[in-house]
């Protein structure tokens, strides 16, 4: 497997890797200059270049999931809200230090598109500024189960007619049995409301990105759980967790908790991929929390 360097971040190499790197760098540069920007503004500034390189109608080529979400997962950019309107906007993340199990830490400097190792003397300096190793397990314990989140979304009696599949070339399929768990919409329009029907038959409105940036990701992951598709495989012997889902669909806060278990994912490009992602240094307690969040059938444990 080969990688190219994005700033000081290694990114999995593909024929499009240089263009993807340029697009992400463009977002960072724009946010550095403007401080805050909505997704529509960012898309206008990079969308023209993107559409010359990618076909958004093809599976996995969605602009947000290809360009924006990897930066959010890595903490390079953050979400915020404009105080005067309450609208969702994006900004650069803070300069941060993440300690590892070894004698080094990883420094993330979003404004420079930089991710690098720092040694122990430098770590001691940062500790004086109240930096330190964050607790991934505490973070996971604070995350409610996906089912709890969804059942708190608005219930709906809307008549739905189409199954919505974001990563298929044809996003809309006529729903033959609308009582089955699935993601639905009442119109075959990309911006129409999306709903999830869960296993008890209830239909819930999926929040728009303005209200919950992870809304669709949560719905997608929960639907995979209902269909008994594995999300994770945990190997007890080497404490390795394989994220078997299309991991760009994992809720961002869960990705960040997993990064804290294995900070080198920020250096070697794993966090920027779209396939399986391997996370090291996972304990039985981490797995217990993942099962609580995702469900009993979501994790395969190997001895």
* Residue-level pLDDT at 41: 87
* Residue-level pLDDT at 83: 84
* Residue-level pLDDT at 246: 55
- DSSP three-state, residue 135: coil
* Residue-level pLDDT at 97: 73
237 and 139 together in one domain = yes
* Residue-level pLDDT at 291: 95
Q: Choose one of 226, 255, 288: the last residue of a domain.
A: 226
* Residue-level pLDDT at 7: 38
Q: Which of 232, 259, 211, 240 minimizes the C-alpha distance to 70?
A: 259
21: domain CATH number is 1.10.10
Q: Choose one of 226, 241, 266: the last residue of a domain.
A: 226
60 and 208 together in one domain = no
27 and 51 together in one domain = yes
* Residue-level pLDDT at 51: 59
Q: Choose one of 198, 226, 254: the last residue of a domain.
A: 226
pTM summary value: 0.81
139 and 242 together in one domain = yes
262 and 167 together in one domain = no
Rounded to 5 degrees, what are φ and ψ at 176?
-80, -40
139 and 247 together in one domain = yes
Q: Which of 218, 47, 70, 59 minimizes the C-alpha distance to 146?
A: 218
Per-residue pLDDT of the chain (303 residues; tens, 9 = 90+): 333 333 333 334 445 566 777 788 888 888 988 899 988 888 887 766 655 655 555 544 567 777 788 888 888 899 999 888 888 999 998 877 777 766 677 777 777 666 777 775 565 555 544 444 458 899 999 999 999 999 999 999 999 999 988 767 678 888 889 999 999 999 888 889 999 999 999 999 999 988 888 999 999 999 988 988 878 999 999 999 998 765 567 898 998 899 888 888 887 777 766 667 889 999 999 999 999 999 988 999 987
Q: Quote the domain boundaries for residue 138.
A: 134-145+229-302
CA 127 distance to own-chain centroid:
29
Total domains present in the chain = 4
Could you give the C-alpha distances from 126 to 93, 99, 168, in angstroms and in order? 17, 10, 46
Beta pairing partners, 115: 108
138 and 233 together in one domain = yes
198 and 259 together in one domain = no
* Residue-level pLDDT at 48: 64
83 and 41 together in one domain = yes
75 and 115 together in one domain = no
18 and 88 together in one domain = yes
C-beta of residue 279 within 8 angstroms of C-beta of residue 265 = yes
Beta pairing partners, 80: 89
266 and 140 together in one domain = yes
């Amino acid at each position: 497997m080969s990688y190219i360097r994005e700033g000081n971040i290694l990114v999995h190499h593909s024929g499009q890797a240089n263009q993807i790197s340029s697009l992400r760098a463009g977002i960072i540069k724009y946010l550095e200059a403007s401080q805050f920007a909505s997704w529509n503004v960012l898309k206008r500034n990079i969308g023209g270049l993107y559409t010359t390189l990618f076909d958004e109608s093809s599976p996995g080529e969605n602009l947000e999931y290809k360009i924006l979400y990897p930066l959010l997962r890595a903490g390079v950019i953050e979400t915020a809200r404009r105080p005067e309107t309450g609208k969702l906007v994006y900004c650069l993340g803070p300069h941060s230090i993440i300690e590892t199990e070894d004698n080094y830490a990883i420094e993330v400097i979003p404004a420079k598109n930089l991710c690098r190792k720092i040694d122990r003397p430098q770590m001691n300096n940062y500790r004086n500024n109240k930096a330190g190793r964050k607790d991934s397990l505490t973070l996971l314990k604070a995350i409610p189960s996906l089912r709890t989140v969804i059942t708190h979304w608005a219930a709906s009696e809307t008549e739905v007619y189409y199954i919505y599949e974001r990563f298929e070339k044809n996003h809309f399929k006529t729903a033959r049995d609308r009582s089955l768990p699935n993601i639905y919409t009442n119109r075959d329009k990309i911006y129409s409301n999306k709903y999830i029907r869960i296993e008890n038959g209830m239909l819930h409105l999926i929040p728009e990105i303005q209200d919950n940036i992870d809304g669709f990701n949560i719905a997608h992951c929960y639907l995979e759980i209902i269909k008994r598709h594995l999300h994770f495989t945990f190997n007890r012997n080497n404490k390795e967790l394989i994220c078997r889902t299309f991991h760009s669909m994992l809720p961002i806060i869960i990705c960040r908790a997993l990064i804290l278990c294995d900070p080198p994912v920020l250096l070697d490009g794993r966090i920027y991929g779209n396939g399986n992602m391997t996370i090291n240094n996972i304990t039985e307690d981490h797995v217990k929390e993942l099962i609580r969040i995702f469900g009993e059938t979501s994790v395969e444990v190997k001895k």
